[in-house]
């Protein structure tokens, strides 16, 4: 005790007194903020790596079955499931806004009601997408796909219907648990599920030769095992403050939730389909085989790195929504700066690594020297994409946390589809820069979008956003339940 008093006296006597105190306060503030950030970002990054890994493992085992099956699986995964994933993940991000702000405002019982509202909306949206999977074969034939591949894709697409419905539970529970910084359970379940998937895929496809059926059964289980675990955790006492059982209140005031979910879904879909269009544009260039293979390798690497960025997106959304719910605009701004700087630092490190190893990068994925040379040539663009990924998703997370999804829809639409794609077509086809031109054009769209989000974030009146958040929470507030009152006072 005496030692502590002496140290405090020395600290007070230090010159200059105010600066020393301010520095210590800033250090403590940064440490506390980083701890809160990584509690969300760490599990979110690992969980997204795991989910991405499920698709990679499935694709690898299907690839050993046959080239037709591999092409069909990739087609269903890239065109149909990416669309469904983007739409449902975006719609679920509306829950991220509501749960984060409600938790910050200590309206704990509302998180469970918002979760149930999200389930209703997402189930309806998923059911509306089922015909895409049922009629996958004729749809793919209509857009010019090979007859044999389209038929096989039609059979594989039916297996993806349970996968699509798994997104309903997966995305909504993740948003609900992240808002409370209780997402470590998701990490444990993801590790278990990924391990089971590897073993079960090997048994069913290699050992017992069940082919595509075995690979898809394992894939469905890999998606649903974590969901069952999350549901048990949520409903069996893992979230006593925020889950008070099923409530009919979830069926009230659904229309505002639908509007927020639709705008959120549109916002994310516009981003996820941007890279898909890059592949489609490149497929019509000269020497398309080499360029598409090289671009696919680059986008695969970019996809893995994007999992880190999506983790920071989740952290930004949770931190901003929590602080706005609490009514602390300064803390919200501080969390934005901290997350952007942390993510950008990681992006700069990765940029340097990819530039240094650019000539060796492709040989991890291919033995074709022409493809490897093309990847080395595209590596600077890949490195710049990685740097952009370290900033842009964080700003999208800020938008989700603040509830700006409808504004960002227009920003994405203008920057990506009215600027990025036309410039890419101009540079790639008219100026004959081929895949580099297409990619540069689309990076210009991403850069402009990032700059616009930075301007919006910088010029935002965060005190006003606190008021907006409070109005939103009060508008959707339902009567507190008996056990929630004791939870709030705890």
Element (H, E) at 55: helix 17-63
Q: Greatest CA span in the chain, whole angstroms?
A: 83
Residue with tokens 């009146």: 461
Same domain, 216 and 361: no
Same domain, 370 and 411: yes
How many Å separate Cα 38 from the centre of its chain?
16
Domain boundary pick from 252, 285, 318: 252
Domain boundary pick from 204, 219, 252: 252
**pTM attached to this predicted model:** 0.81
For residue 14, being part of any structural domain is answered with no
Same domain, 192 and 146: yes
| Distances 316 to 163, 169, 244, 333 between C-alpha atoms, Å | 28, 22, 27, 10
Same domain, 398 and 330: yes
Same domain, 287 and 406: yes
Same domain, 230 and 284: no
For residue 4, being part of any structural domain is answered with no
CB 441, CB 424: distance < 8 Å: yes
Same domain, 267 and 235: no
For residue 154, being part of any structural domain is answered with yes
| Residue 284 pLDDT | 55
Question: How far apart are alpha carbons 130 and 143 in whole angstroms?
Answer: 19
| Residue 375 pLDDT | 81
CB 332, CB 100: distance < 8 Å: no
Residue with tokens 């389209």: 150
52's CB contacts (< 8 A; 6+ apart) are 303, 304, 307
Mean pLDDT by 10 residues, the chain (490 residues): 45 48 81 91 88 86 84 83 84 86 90 92 93 92 82 94 95 92 88 92 90 93 94 92 88 78 76 67 58 70 83 91 91 93 92 80 72 81 87 90 85 88 87 83 90 92 90 76 40
For residue 145, being part of any structural domain is answered with yes
Please give the tally of structural domains in the chain: 2
Question: How far apart are alpha carbons 29 and 478 in whole angstroms?
Answer: 35
Question: How far apart are alpha carbons 174 and 43 in whole angstroms?
Answer: 10
Domain boundary pick from 252, 271, 296: 252
CB 376, CB 355: distance < 8 Å: no
The whole domain housing 267 covers 262-478
| Residue 304 pLDDT | 80
Same domain, 213 and 338: no
Cβ burial 373-403 (10 Å sphere, 16+ → b, else e): ebbbebbebbbbbbbbbbbbbbbbbbbbbbb
Same domain, 153 and 302: no
Question: How far apart are alpha carbons 373 and 254 in whole angstroms?
Answer: 53
Runs of H (alpha helix) within 251-328:
254-282, 288-326
| Residue 280 pLDDT | 60
Runs of H (alpha helix) within 144-183:
147-179
CB 330, CB 354: distance < 8 Å: no
């Amino acid at each position: 005790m005496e030692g502590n008093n002496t140290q405090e006296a020395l600290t007070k006597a230090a010159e200059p007194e105010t600066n020393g105190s301010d520095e210590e306060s800033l250090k403590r503030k940064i440490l506390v903020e980083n701890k809160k950030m990584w509690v969300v970002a760490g599990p979110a990054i690992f969980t997204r790596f795991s989910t991405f890994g499920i698709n990679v493992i499935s694709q690898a085992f299907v690839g050993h079955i046959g080239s037709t099956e591999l092409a069909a699986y990739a087609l269903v995964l890239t065109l149909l499931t990416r669309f469904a994933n983007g739409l449902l993940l975006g719609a679920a991000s509306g829950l991220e806004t509501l749960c984060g702000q409600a938790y910050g405002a200590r309206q704990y019982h509302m998180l469970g009601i918002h979760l149930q509202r999200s389930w209703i909306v997402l189930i309806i949206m998923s059911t509306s997408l089922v015909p895409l999977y049922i009629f996958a074969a004729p749809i793919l034939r209509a857009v010019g796909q090979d007859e044999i591949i389209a038929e096989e894709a039609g059979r594989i697409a039916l297996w993806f219907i349970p996968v699509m419905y798994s997104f309903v539970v997966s995305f909504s529970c993740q948003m609900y648990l992240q808002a409370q910084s209780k997402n470590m359970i998701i990490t444990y379940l993801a590790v278990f599920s990924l391990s089971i998937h590897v073993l079960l895929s090997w048994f069913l496809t290699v050992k017992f030769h069940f082919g595509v059926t075995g690979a898809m059964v394992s894939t469905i289980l890999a998606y649903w095992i974590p969901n069952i675990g999350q549901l048990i955790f949520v409903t069996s006492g893992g979230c006593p403050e925020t889950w008070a059982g099923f409530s009919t209140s979830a069926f009230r005031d659904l229309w505002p939730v639908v509007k927020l979910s639709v705008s959120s879904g549109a916002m994310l879909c516009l981003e996820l389909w941007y890279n898909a269009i890059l592949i489609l544009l490149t497929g019509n260039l000269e020497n398309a085989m080499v360029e598409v293979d090289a671009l696919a390798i680059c986008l695969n690497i970019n996809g893995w790195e994007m999992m880190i960025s999506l983790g920071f997106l989740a952290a930004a959304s949770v931190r901003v929504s929590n602080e706005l719910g609490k009514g602390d605009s300064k803390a919200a701004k501080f969390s934005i700066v901290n997350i952007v700087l942390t993510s950008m630092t990681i992006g700069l490190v990765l940029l340097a690594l990819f530039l240094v190893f650019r000539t060796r990068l492709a040989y991890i994925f291919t033995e074709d020297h022409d493809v490897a040379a093309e990847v080395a040539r595209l590596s600077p663009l890949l490195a710049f994409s990685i740097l952009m990924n370290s900033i842009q998703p964080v700003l999208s997370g800020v938008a989700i946390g603040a509830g700006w999804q409808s504004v960002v829809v227009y920003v994405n639409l203008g920057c990506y589809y009215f600027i990025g794609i036309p410039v890419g077509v101009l540079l790639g086809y008219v100026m004959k820069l081929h895949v580099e031109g297409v990619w540069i054009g689309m990076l210009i769209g991403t850069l402009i979008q990032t700059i616009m989000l930075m301007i919006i974030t910088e010029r935002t009146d965060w005190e006003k956003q606190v008021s907006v958040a409070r109005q939103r929470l009060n508008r959707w507030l339902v009567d507190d339940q008996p056990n929630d009152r004791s939870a709030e006072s705890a």
